[in-house]
Amino acid sequence: MLVLLDQTRLPAEEVELLCTDVPCLVQAIQTLAVRGAPLLGLAGAYGIALAAARGFDVHEAARDLAGARPTAVNLAWGVQRALEAFRDAGPGQGARAALDEARRLHQEDARGSREMGRLGVELLGKLVPGGGYRVLTHCNTGALVSGGEGTAFAVVRAAHRDGELRRLWVDETRPLLQGARLTAYEAARSGMPYTLLADNAAGSLFAAGEVDAVLVGADRIAADGSVANKVGSYPLAVLARHHGVPFVVVAPVSTVDLDTPDGASIEIEQRAGDEVTGSAPPGTQAYNPAFDVTPPGLVTAIVTERGVVSPVRGDGLARMAGGDFLR
Ligand code: MRU
């Protein structure tokens, strides 16, 4: 059985979701009960372990899980890692091997998160001399999506531990409010100074000179350094460039997809219109992409557990990711 924290119920209730089969997990992924790129990778791997342990068709499970959401490459990557472990195992050992691999990924993610926190805060020190950072973040990139403290949020937490976080600006993150519901929940639990804003208030915040750096995560980073992340990230990158503020992406190497050549090749998940049309007249159509793409030229740096790529260019990214992306 897979025990998941149902993120759709936060922050009002901390409710566990128990999955004993793959359709349950696929639904949890599609409804965003389980979400965020690194966690999707872990969910994919544990899903394969669950299918193997319960005697389900593991290849069918792999197809269903990997196809549950299209944009975060970590999902297919986690599925693939556990599937390979299952296949490579000796007779009768597949389920054990898949579970061991899922646990290995979980630990790797925690270690990677620590490294991203350390490297990211070191980078902040160079980009924003004098400390006392006022950081703007979008969506949710913390412990809720990770075996550790997350990606961009791990950097925020490291800055807070160092006594250098003056303010965390939390974008509400329309339409599903991952910022208001989840990042604010994590910030409050960590005792950080944080302030929530409607996404469309970010422009006036930059104009007032209140933002020193933008830190966001990523769902897929293409070979040319284009970054797909929660919709609303690209406008922040444009604002950051206009106001001379660094825009930094923090993500594990498993988010880098060297097989996707550029931003235009990244499949962007389109979600149901009713996530947006709640207050509109009946029959209103909605444009509701879950992600947008920021071109590499607007990204100051990409921080992974292996190092920092800056300026963001395909050659630097390929060197960092190495030839062993799937291993
Ligand atoms: O639709 P979601 O909530 O799964 O989108 C999540 C994001 O866009 C995150 O910013 C991204 O996965 C990075 S999480 C470390």
Q: Please spell the DSSP secondary structure of 189-222, one letter per residue.
A: HHT--EEEE-GGGHHHHHHTT--SEEEE--SEEE
Q: Determine whether the shortest distance from the Cβ of 141 to ligand 1 is under 6 A.
A: yes
293 C-alpha to ligand 1 centroid (Å)? 13
- Nearest to 210, CA basis, from 186, 239, 185: 239
- Asked if residues 229 and 219 have their Cβ atoms less than 8 Å apart, the reply is yes
Q: Determine whether the shortest distance from the Cβ of 177 to ligand 1 is under 6 A.
A: no
What is the pLDDT at residue 327?
A: 28
What is the pLDDT at residue 324?
A: 42
Closest residue (by CA) to atom 13 of ligand 1?
A: 217
Token pair, residue 241, equals 């460039």
Q: Determine whether the shortest distance from the Cβ of 37 to ligand 1 is under 6 A.
A: yes
33 C-alpha to ligand 1 centroid (Å)? 12
Helix axes 37-54, 58-66, angle to 10 degrees: 160
What is the pLDDT at residue 286?
A: 98
Active site residue 262: no
CA-atom Rg of the chain in angstroms: 19
32 C-alpha to ligand 1 centroid (Å)? 10
Token pair, residue 86, equals 């299952």
Q: Is the alpha carbon torsion for 321, 323, 326, 327 positive or negative? A: negative
Q: Determine whether the shortest distance from the Cβ of 35 to ligand 1 is under 6 A.
A: yes
Whether ipTM > 0.95 holds is yes
- Asked if residues 186 and 179 have their Cβ atoms less than 8 Å apart, the reply is no
- Asked if residues 314 and 225 have their Cβ atoms less than 8 Å apart, the reply is yes
| DSSP H or E segment with residue 301 | strand 301-304
Q: Is the alpha carbon torsion for 106, 110, 116, 117 positive or negative? A: positive
Q: Is the alpha carbon torsion for 132, 236, 302, 33 positive or negative? A: positive
Residues 6+ apart with CB under 8 A from 182: 7, 10, 11, 140, 142, 144
Using the atom order of ligand 1, give the atom closest to the CA of residue 250: 15
Per-residue pLDDT of the chain (327 residues; tens, 9 = 90+): 999 999 999 999 999 999 999 999 999 999 999 999 999 999 999 999 999 999 999 999 999 999 999 999 999 999 999 999 999 998 899 999 999 999 999 999 999 999 999 999 999 999 999 999 999 999 999 999 999 999 999 999 999 999 999 999 999 999 999 999 999 999 999 999 999 999 999 999 999 999 999 999 999 999 999 999 999 999 999 999 999 999 999 999 999 999 999 999 999 999 999 999 999 999 999 999 999 999 999 999 999 999 999 999 999 999 998 744 332
Residue 230 marked as a ligand binder:
yes
